[in-house]
Amino acid sequence: MTQPMSQELWRELVPQTLARLVRRYGADQFDHCEDAVQEAVLEAHRSWATRPPDDPQAWLATTARRRYIDLIRTDRRRREREQRVALLDEPLTAGSVSSESDDALLLLRLCCHPALPRTGQVALTLRAVAGLRTEQIANVYQLPEPTIAQRITRAKQRLKEHRDAL
> Which residue ranges of the chain lie beneath pLDDT 50?
1-2, 93-97
Q: Using an 8 Å Cβ cutoff, are 42 and 14 in contact?
A: no
pLDDT at 68: 96
pLDDT at 1: 41
Q: Tell me, yes or no, whether 106 and 71 share the same domain.
A: no
Q: Tell me, yes or no, whether 14 and 79 share the same domain.
A: yes
pLDDT at 71: 94
pLDDT at 96: 47
pTM: 0.50
Q: Using an 8 Å Cβ cutoff, are 123 and 148 in contact?
A: yes
Alpha carbon distances (Å) from 161 to 98, 125, 141, 143, 154: 30, 18, 27, 26, 10
pLDDT at 89: 67
Q: Tell me, yes or no, whether 12 and 79 share the same domain.
A: yes
Domain of 144 in residue numbering reads as: 99-165
Q: Tell me, yes or no, whether 27 and 79 share the same domain.
A: yes
Q: Tell me, yes or no, whether 119 and 73 share the same domain.
A: no
Residue 94 within a domain: no
